[in-house]
Structure 1
Amino acid sequence: MTSLLDTPLVRPGIGQGLKDVFHRRYLLKLLVRKEIKLRYRGSVLGVIWSYVKPAIQFVVFYIAMGVFLGLNRNVGNYAVYLFSGIVLINFFTEALNNAAKSIVYNSGLIKKIFLPRELFPVASVFVSAAHFFPQLVVLLIGCLLTGWQPTPLGVLAGFAGFLVLAMLSVGLGLFFSSVNVYFRDSENFVEMMLMVATWVSPVMYQWTMVHERLGDFWFAVYQANPVTVGVELFHYAFWSTTSGGDAALAAPPQLFELWLPVALVVSAAVLALGQFTFRRLEVKFAQEL
């Protein structure tokens, strides 16, 4: 029998980062359930709000960009093109916005007990994913009604686009949730950054318009943004094989050979930076909160 003297001492409050989230998956599941119940508590429409917001956003963007600016005449099946981008960018904006506030919003729980603090931003991303999948079902229905022909490469592209933005959301969520404990105005910075990301990414327009105006060098800088690559992958997956879609216009040259690996590397680097920053700052969370 091993005695207490043979047990190595472990410094209290020091964990293994995201590994602890995996080891305590049951706590993650409880947090996700709690967040979903709290979000719709006292709500008349409940989960239907997951459909109302993207629907209104789609109508506004379609009228503004499709009808007034004429993109629906220049882009075949513009409705599917627009909605496929909106679905993914909404997942990213909701996930990062909620993850950045997660530590401050759960300050009461953090000050009372110790548990892996990474659970809170990661749970926010999972809750956003739970809202993402019903919208994805609506997108799939729209694609099927417009002659969508799924291909193995297209399915892989859709999964890769979601994976890129999920990794980026967790990394940025870890970074800004920890910084937000010390500097509360970082929430405003995140909201401003998400507004820019929505308009800079090719959600409402095609990448060819960017290339024509920026040239090769600045277009390469533009393509290094993982959000841009994720949206283009979704367009390739869901719009390119529908009636009016065009695979050549959905994906810029070397999307899979170059830009997808670049997006994965950048997202992984952001994830590592977010984890490093979070672990350095979490030691004083309870005092600062």
Structure 2
Amino acid sequence: MDVRDIWSHRELFYFLAWRDVKVRYKQTALGAGWAILQPLISMIVFTMLFGRLARLPSDGQPYAIFSYAGLLPWNFFTNAVTNSSNSLVNSNNLITKVYFPRILVPTAAVGAALVDIAIASTMLLAIMPIYGVGFHASLLLLVPLVGLTALTAASLGIWTAALNVKYRDIRYALPFVIQLLMFLTPVIYPITFLPARWRWVLRLNPLSGIIEGFRDAIFGRPFNWNGLAISVAVTLILLLAAALTFSRMEEEFADII
């Protein structure tokens, strides 16, 4: 995989990402409003079910903001991975007719999802004062945390996109796997909810450290840098493995897609 070739086609990346954004909201009544409604409605449901009825802990913070802080990166990750995994199959006409680095297609799908999390973040800033959560300088760290989430989504999206070209079962299996993954990710509960001896298992999921980082930034708490370091290390390993897998399979795309 030639990095210089990818860089020389960077304008195509922007075009593909913007195309995905326009297609996603084309002929929808609410348009980009869905980027706000999805986490907002989930937050309300989670607060009622898990915050009030199940009384799950929230590290002493309002459960509504606690859950929304987890839903922001989680929804971004799931939407990015889902769209990325189907991106090559949905772009078969482009792939079979024009040469360009094919990895731009799944990564552009991840880039398009950045628009959603940017819009959804504005709702977070709007509801924080309602629940008595103040603004902190640590909120600026949400930017690199979103970048890390994007890398994590890209690593899985690149891998599943390549496999989906050859094995269309991925399209059906991925939603089920993502649904299971949610229970192994601290979206509705804090990491401290698990016994200390089992927390290392949760740490192997890079989203665990990322979501914990989101909450630390939002609530102005000290960061768990060890947890973030594990997330970065696991993400880089996944990204390298995904890039190698994609590179090996790339030559076959035009023939079997």
C-alpha contact (below 8 Å) 2:59/2:190 kept by paired residues: no
Spell out the pairing of 1:192-231 with structure 2 (5 A cutoff): 192-210=176-194, 212=195, 215-216=196-197, 218-231=198-211
Structure 2 residue identity aligned to 1:285? F
Correspondence for 2:254: 286
**Contact in 1 for aligned 2:58/2:66 (Cα 8 Å):** no
Q: Distance in 2 between matches of 1:159 and 1:49?
A: 22
- Give the counterpart of 1:150 among 127, 130, 136: 136
CA drift of 1:49 comes to: 1.5
2:212 maps to: 232
After superposition, the C-alpha distances for 1:160-187 in whole angstroms (9 at most, x for unaligned) are: 4323221111111111100111101112
1:1-289 alignment, distance < 5 Å: 16=2, 18-71=3-56, 75-145=60-130, 146-152=132-138, 155-156=140-141, 158-210=142-194, 212=195, 215-216=196-197, 218-238=198-218, 240-241=219-220, 247=221, 255-256=224-225, 258-289=226-257
The residue type paired with residue 167 of structure 2 is F
Q: CA RMSD in A?
A: 2.0
- What is the aligned-residue identity percentage? 26
**How far does residue 133 in structure 1 lie from its aligned partner after superposition?**
0.3
Structure 1 position 38, deviation (Å) = 1.3
Which structure has the larger Rg? 1
Paired residues, number: 256
Whether the 8 Å CA contact 1:88–1:162 is kept in 2: the answer is yes
Indicate how the Cα distance of structure 1 residues 117 and 73 shifts in structure 2: closer, same or farther if over 3 A, else same.
Answer: closer
Residue-by-residue CA offset, 1:62-116 (whole Å, 9 max, x unaligned): 1111121123798431111111111110000001111111101111111111111
Q: Are the counterparts in 2 of residues 224 and 259 from structure 1 also a CA contact under 8 Å?
A: no
Over 3 Å counting, the alpha-carbon distance change for 1:55 and 1:112 in structure 2 is same
> What amino acid is the match of 1:97?
T
CA displacement 1:126-174 (0-9 Å, x = unmatched): 111111101111112222442424134x533x33432322111111111
Deviation at residue 273 of structure 1 after TM alignment: 0.7
Deviation at 1:223, TM superposition (A): 1.4
Paired residues of 1:165 and 1:230 also in contact (CA < 8 A): yes
Within 2, Cα distance between the matches of 1:80 and 1:20?
Answer: 43
Q: Distance in 1 between matches of 2:53 and 2:4?
A: 50
Report SS of the residue matched to 2:61. Answer: coil
* Segments ≥4 residues shifted beyond 3 Å: 18-21, 71-75
Contact map agreement 2:152 2:239 (CA 8 A) in 1: yes
Q: Distance in 1 between matches of 2:129 and 2:5?
A: 41
Question: Contact 1:160–1:230 (CA<8 Å) still a contact in 2?
Answer: no
Closer/same/farther in 2, CA of residues 124 and 19 from structure 1, 3 Å limit = farther
TM-superposed CA distance for 1:204, in Å, is 1.1
1:21-63 alpha-carbon deviations (Å, 9 max, x no partner)? 3322211111112111111222222111212222221222111
Amino acid at match of 2:19: K
Matches of 1:56 and 1:141, distance apart in 2: 15
Can you list the C-alpha shifts for 1:210-267, whole angstroms capped at 9, x where unaligned?
1x3xx42x211211211101000001011x24xxxxx37xx6xxx20x2212211110
Are the aligned partners of 2:209 and 2:230 in contact in 1 as well (CA < 8 Å)?
no
**Please, which runs of 5 or more residues in structure 2 have no aligned partner?**
none
Please give the TM-score of this superposition, normalised by the length of structure 1: 0.82
Please, which moves more after superposition, 139-148 or 277-286? 139-148
Q: TM-score, normalised by structure 2?
A: 0.92
